C-alpha cells in the first residue's frame, strides 16, 4: 500500500480506537482520564471482562509503515541546533523546533527556509522571523530608554549629594572656628 492509503487507514483506525482510561476513573473525581494498566488480582478490567473499559493492546495499533509519521507523511525530527538541520532530508523529514532562545530560533528558521524544510510548530517562517526580530528590537529600545532614564536620575542625585556634603563640611568648619574663639 502507498503511504497516503496507509495514513488514511491509520486515521480510520484512530477514529475507532476507544479512549483508554484508568480503572474506576469514572467513580473517583480525583483520578485524571489517563491510561494506567490495571494491576489488581481480581480486576475485571485486567481480565478483559465484557462491559468494562478497554485495555491497551496491540490490536489497536496503526500500520507499522506510517507509525510515528506526521499527517503530511513526513517523519518529524527535533531540531535544537544547526547540525540537526544538516541531518534532515527535505523530501522525507520535517522539523520540530526545540525549546531554544530567540536568536537561535531565527538562525534555525532561516536555515530551514533556505533548505526548504517544513517546520511543524511554525505556521509561517517569514512571519515568525519578522515577529522575533521586531520583539528583539523593541526590547533593545526599552533597554536604551531605561538606561537613559537611569543616567538622567543618577547625575542630579550625585550633584545634590556632593553639594550636601560640601555644605555639611562648611558648617562643621564654622563650628570648629566658633569653639576656638
Q: Are residue 28 and residue 54 in the same domain, yes or no?
A: yes
Tens digits of per-residue pLDDT, 116-155?
999 999 999 999 999 999 999 999 999 999 988 888 776 5
Q: Are residue 20 and residue 44 in the same domain, yes or no?
A: yes
Q: Are residue 56 and residue 103 in the same domain, yes or no?
A: no
Q: Are residue 103 and residue 142 in the same domain, yes or no?
A: no
Q: Are residue 18 and residue 33 in the same domain, yes or no?
A: yes
Place 111 in a pLDDT band, splitting at 50, 70 and 90: very high
- Identify the pLDDT of residue 181: 57
Query: Per the structure, how many domains does the chain have?
Result: 3
The secondary structure of 76-144 as a DSSP string is EEEE-SHHHHHT--TTTEEEEE-S--HHHHHHHHHHHHHHT--BTT-S-HHHHHHHHHHHHHHHHHHHH
Place 23 in a pLDDT band, splitting at 50, 70 and 90: very high
Whether the model clears a pTM of 0.75, i.e. scores above it, the answer is: no
Q: From 65, 88, 107, give the residue that closes a domain.
A: 65
Q: Are residue 73 and residue 114 in the same domain, yes or no?
A: yes
Higher pLDDT, 180 or 63: 63
Q: Are residue 160 and residue 104 in the same domain, yes or no?
A: no
Give the range of the structural domain holding residue 106, as residue numbers without chain letter: 68-122
Amino acid at each position: 500500500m502507498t503511504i497516503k492509503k496507509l495514513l488514511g487507514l491509520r486515521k480510520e483506525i484512530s477514529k475507532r480506537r476507544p479512549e483508554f482510561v484508568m480503572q474506576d476513573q469514572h467513580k473517583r473525581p480525583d483520578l485524571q482520564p489517563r491510561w494506567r494498566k490495571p494491576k489488581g488480582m481480581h480486576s475485571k478490567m485486567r481480565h478483559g471482562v465484557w462491559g468494562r473499559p478497554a485495555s491497551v493492546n496491540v490490536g489497536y495499533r496503526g500500520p507499522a509503515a506510517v507509525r510515528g509519521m506526521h499527517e503530511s507523511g513526513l517523519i518529524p525530527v527535533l531540531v535544537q541546533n544547526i547540525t540537526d538541520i544538516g541531518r534532515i532530508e527535505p523530501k522525507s523529514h520535517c522539523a520540530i523546533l526545540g525549546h531554544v532562545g530567540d536568536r537561535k530560533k531565527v538562525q534555525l528558521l532561516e536555515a530551514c527556509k533556505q533548505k526548504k524544510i517544513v517546520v511543524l510548530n511554525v505556521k509561517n517562517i517569514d512571519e515568525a522571523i519578522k515577529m522575533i526580530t521586531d520583539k528583539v528590537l523593541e526590547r533593545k529600545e526599552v533597554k536604551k530608554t531605561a538606561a537613559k532614564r537611569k543616567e538622567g536620575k543618577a547625575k542630579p542625585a550625585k550633584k545634590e549629594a556632593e553639594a550636601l556634603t560640601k555644605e555639611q563640611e562648611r558648617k562643621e568648619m564654622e563650628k570648629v572656628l566658633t569653639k576656638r574663639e
